[in-house]
A and B are shown apart, each in its own frame.
Chain A
Amino acid sequence: MEKFNLNRMIQSTFLISSLGLVSVNSFAQQTSSQENVPVVESKKSLEQVASEEKSKLGTNSGSTAESHKKEDDEWQDYKKQFEQANPFYEIKFNDDYSAYKVIESKDDLDMSEDDESLIKVSEDDVFYIRRVGDWQETKPKKRKKRVRFVWNDEEESYEDCWNFGKVSCNARDGFHYAFSFVSSGGDDFYQESGEATDIKSYASYRIQIASFFVETPGMATRRIHGLYAGRAWGFNFYNTDQWRLDLYKQRDTRGIRDLEGIQVRNKRTRAGLRLTGFFDSSLLQMNVSPYSTSDQKDDGVAASISYSHFWQLRNLSIYGSAGVQYQPKEVVSFYETQPASFAEREDRINQDVELGFEYPISKHWVFGGFAAYSRTNLAIPGVSSLEQVNSTEDKVDGFRSGLLLSLVF
């Protein structure tokens, strides 16, 4: 059971209004002296009631179908008693959530600031919100879920899944989209000159419907993509509040366009498993790819890990990213002026760091900038373009920086 206090309620204003709810449910106890005026019950007494009833039920738990039925009946009785003792009232808050009124009929939905039935909210009040339909779950094994009074800022609401229903609900369904104008310059492994300056415009996105996604990472989607995410499609098959697990298949071997010059590419597209962790101010992405579309006998296993951390300086967001990628000798390299024999190939380790900033001009326009450094083993003999860059005996490195203006949805 979730509760929220006044502060949390006010913070949730957008959610309530965005869901289009005409009312929410308040867990309130009715007093004899004030008919229809809810008095909010304290957390302590409520938890005591729930705890006592739960412990009573727990003593009768069993594993057979009969015992489940018995538990279910007991649960129904408990539910009735619980609701009678602690009735729910539908209430509606005023615009600034400083007061509310009990909704007994549709006529009560009309509210004005001088409405006499408005009850002032105090900071000590605690409200309990439940989802419609929670009581409908009747399977004994799901008993714990029946009392799922949910108001949790961290949890997605049903409305986030409105188009596919509760059964196929995936809280990660939706989209990230940014169209960016980018000016960048610096080293380029793949140019004969070893460097390039570009002004480009392109879209970066992740679109997910019914758990299937297609994505093109870019500098403007650093908040959801790690350093080694490429163009891919796949299936998002597991989620928690913080973690997302995807099966993916690359659509091509290109990396983020403005870093393409200093990002090493595979010889063929690959598929694998990718774990992404979203935290309050950081992002962790790990990736294992054991499959390649190449017709080589062994596909090898590529792997990478990248971490990004975000800092806030007034409304400016600054991020720093670092990552390491392992590429087996089976996948290197994209540009070979002369195909190297397999025996001459070597595994490759790529290391990358990136610093950047984002500043919100408005809700949809973001100005940003980045500087990135990459270093890799020069593992392929006969790669002439790589040798144009600051190569030492067995390593090559590159640097790129740029500015971007993005339209974000």
Chain B
Amino acid sequence: MLLMNMPSAAEEIAKPDVSAVTMNMSPNQCVAMTEGQTCYVDVEFSWQSSTVLDVCLFHSSQKTPLKCWNQATKGEYEYDFASNKNVTFTLRRIDDLSILGQQELEMAWVHKKRGKPTNWWRIF
């Protein structure tokens, strides 16, 4: 029930309470060899708060939470997944789904596909 009511990113108006919660993610980037390839990454999350919280960690492309914590002041989570586009991870309060912290995982690559060269403007 909680998840069905989760607002979309466009509707999101709640401001993260960054002063109370610290959220960390490592790594922040996943690199595949060629543009468009699926990138595989094992991400580690951690959060810490000065107050006791009921929170869930969400992945931007799925509505079900990855992990929830009840009455906790800190948490850790390890997540092994694959994607070919950037992914945002969000820590939300369980009661009102307000955002407490957010981290973006960038999907990057070494080579453009099909032998296409690096553009000259990338030099500058």
Contact = CB atoms under 8 A, between A and B. Distances in A.
Contacts of A174: 116-120
Given A174-B119, A362-B31, A363-B108, A315 B39 contact: yes
A162 B119 CA distance: 9
Given A11-B85, A360-B33, A408-B110, A98 B119 contact: no
A98 B117 contact: no
B10 interface: yes
A96 B11 CA distance: 12
A364 B110 contact: yes
B114 A363 contact: no
B115 A11 contact: no
A10 B118 contact: no
B10 A206 contact: no
A67 interface: no
Nearest to B61: A10
A172 B115 CA distance: 9
Interface residues of B, number: 36
B104 to A, nearest CB: 9
B10 A99 contact: yes
Given A96-B88, A98-B9, A364-B110, A317 B118 contact: no
B12 A206 contact: no
A174 B37 CA distance: 22
Interface string A197-238: 000000000101100000000000001100000000000000
B110 A363 contact: yes
A163 B116 CA distance: 17
A221 to B, nearest CB: 10
A283 interface: yes
B10 A317 contact: no
Contact of A276 (B10, B115, B117): B115
Contact of A278 (B39, B60, B115, B121): B115
A143 interface: no
A361 B85 CA distance: 19
Given A11-B84, A278-B115, A360 B31 contact: yes
Contacts of A171: 116
Interface in A274-303: 276, 278-280, 283
Interface in A4-24: 10-11, 13
Contact of B117 (A162, A172, A363): A172
Contact of B40 (A154, A177, A283, A314): A314
Contacts of A175: 117-118, 120
Contacts of B4: none
Interface in B65-114: 84-86, 88, 108-111, 113-114
Interface string B35-64: 011111000000000000000000010000
Contact of A176 (B9, B11, B117): B117
Contacts of B30: 315
A120 B10 contact: yes
A156 interface: yes
Contacts of B12: 113
29 contacts: A113-B10, A113-B12, A121-B10, A156-B116, A159-B121, A162-B120, A163-B120, A171-B116, A172-B116, A173-B120, A174-B117, A174-B118, A174-B120, A175-B117, A176-B117, A176-B118, A208-B117, A278-B114, A310-B34, A315-B31, A315-B33, A315-B39, A358-B33, A360-B109, A363-B108, A363-B109, A366-B33, A408-B111, A409-B118
Interface of A: 10-11, 13, 94, 96, 98-99, 113-114, 118, 120-121, 153-154, 156, 159-160, 162-163, 171-177, 206, 208-209, 223-224, 241-242, 244, 276, 278-280, 283, 310, 312, 314-315, 317, 358, 360-364, 366, 408-409
